[in-house]
Amino acid sequence: MTIVKTPDLNSLTVFVTVAEAGGFTAAAQRLGVAKGRVSLQISRLEKALGVQLFHRTTRQVSLTRAGESLLAESGPLLNGLQNVLEEAGRKSAELRGVLRISAPVDFAVQTLAPLVSAFARLHPGLQLELCSSDRILDPVREGIDVSFRVGWLQDSTQRAVKLGDFDQYLVAAPSYLARAGKPVTPGQIAGHAWLALTLLRSPLTWTFEAADGTSERVQLQSALRVDSATVLRALLQEGAGLSVMDQPSAQQALDAGRLVRLLKDWSLPRGGIYAVYPPGRYASVKSHAFVDFCRRSLAPAPSGGVEAV
């Protein structure tokens, strides 16, 4: 009689991590173990199953057909089991483990940092990693549990939770306006130095709407483009030109008089704040807990302000 050895569930967890991370090195970093240990676990799993799970070359690691089948069947089961264990732990104790969060730099500085700090105090057993980048990170490859997006979601199929809305303002520094004059209609913007934020889908096309419902579409040209809202604000404050900023990022500079809001009688499309979960797997209990915490903290207070954390 042939005895079939049941694979170690830890090896299965390592397998899913390698598949999601796209390589042994990245998986080892995510798991906090040596690369050799990851390779050994995968070899043992392949031996126990009697199939090859990965194609290995010096440049990349990819799933075989058997590996793709195993990932499709085991990935959701492991995530479900993890959620069950986390839920049981949440009911009897505090949240534990690692929670990796990604967000644009300006949103992380202006809004998310105090929320992360407060959440960490509530859950001292939880390790939080805040990855701030104005580039959209690959949540699967980077091991991100929840990503925050500011503006508009490019993919309507993403599993996202809307946390709030924000206004957009046309702004410039007093020094620039003293030198170049103040536009009084949207059409006059075209004659000014425009700073374009390339993170936006259409940084050179803006539609302004008046209170009576009339709208005016403005097509702009720009000799100065940036890929960071933080850098955009710095250049605006230096008097480099005018541009559109989201209200949360601009408010502090507006209050201090470093920037001035223009065309107050005209409005721009409102943007949204979203928490986005990674595709293809269940969001963890700790991810849901943090998103719910942010949603409560960012909800408008009865007075029209924002609830204090």
Q: pLDDT-based confidence at 152, cuts 50/70/90?
A: confident
Q: Which of 219, 226, 193, 224 is nearest to 204 (CA)?
A: 219
Q: pLDDT-based confidence at 57, cuts 50/70/90?
A: confident
Q: Is a pLDDT exceeding 90 seen at residue 224? A: yes
Quote the pLDDT of residue 22. 80
Superfamily of domain 94-166+272-298 in CATH is Periplasmic binding protein-like II (3.40.190.10)
Q: Return d(Cα 277, Cα 293) in angstroms, integer.
A: 15
246-289 residue pLDDT tens:
998 899 999 999 999 999 999 999 988 999 988 765 667 889 89
Q: Return d(Cα 305, Cα 279) in angstroms, integer.
A: 33
Q: Return d(Cα 11, Cα 14) in angstroms, integer.
A: 5
126 with 94: CB under 8 angstroms? yes
Whether this model's pTM surpasses 0.85: no
Domain boundaries, the chain: 9-88, 94-166+272-298, 168-269
Q: pLDDT-based confidence at 304, cuts 50/70/90?
A: very low
Residue pointed to by tokens 């943090």: 290
Q: pLDDT-based confidence at 155, cuts 50/70/90?
A: low
Lowest mean pLDDT across 28-42, 57-71, 77-91, 147-161: 77-91
Quote the pLDDT of residue 279. 75
Q: pLDDT-based confidence at 167, cuts 50/70/90?
A: very high
Q: Return d(Cα 52, Cα 39) in angstroms, integer.
A: 13
Long-range contacts of 64-69, Cβ-Cβ distance < 8 Å, separation of 24 or more:
67/15, 67/19
The three-point CA angle 190-171-304 to 5° equals: 135
Token output for 115: 């929320």
Quote the pLDDT of residue 19. 85
Decide if 9-88 and 168-269 have a common fold.
Answer: no
- The CATH class that applies to domain 168-269 reads alpha beta
Higher pLDDT, 67 or 158: 67
Q: pLDDT-based confidence at 96, cuts 50/70/90?
A: confident
Query: Taking the chain, what is the end-to-end CA distance rounded to the nearest angstrom?
Result: 64
Q: pLDDT-based confidence at 235, cuts 50/70/90?
A: very high
Q: Which CATH architecture has domain 9-88?
A: Orthogonal Bundle (1.10)
Quote the pLDDT of residue 171. 98
282-300 residue pLDDT tens:
667 889 899 999 998 887 6
206 with 218: CB under 8 angstroms? yes
Lowest mean pLDDT across 66-75, 144-153, 180-189, 212-221: 66-75
Above pLDDT 70, what percent of the chain?
84
**One-letter-per-residue 3-state SS of the chain:** CCCCCCCCHHHHHHHHHHHHHCCHHHHHHHHCCCHHHHHHHHHHHHHHHCCCCEEECCCCEEECHHHHHHHHHHHHHHHHHHHHHHHHHHHHCCCCEEEEEEECHHHHHHHHHHHHHHHHHHCCCEEEEEEECCCCCCHHHHCCCEEEEEECCCCCCCCEEEEEEECEEEEECHHHHHHHCCCCCHHHHHHCCEEEECCCCCCCEEEEEECCCCEEEEECCCCEEECCHHHHHHHHHCCCCEEEEEHHHHHHHHHCCCCEEECCCEECCCEEEEEECCCCCCCCHHHHHHHHHHHHHHCECCCCCECCC
The chain-wide mean pLDDT, for the chain, equals 84
Q: Is a pLDDT exceeding 90 seen at residue 30? A: no
* Phi, psi values for residue 20, rounded to 5°: -75, -40
Q: pLDDT-based confidence at 87, cuts 50/70/90?
A: low
Q: Stretch 158-175: mean pLDDT, rounded?
A: 90
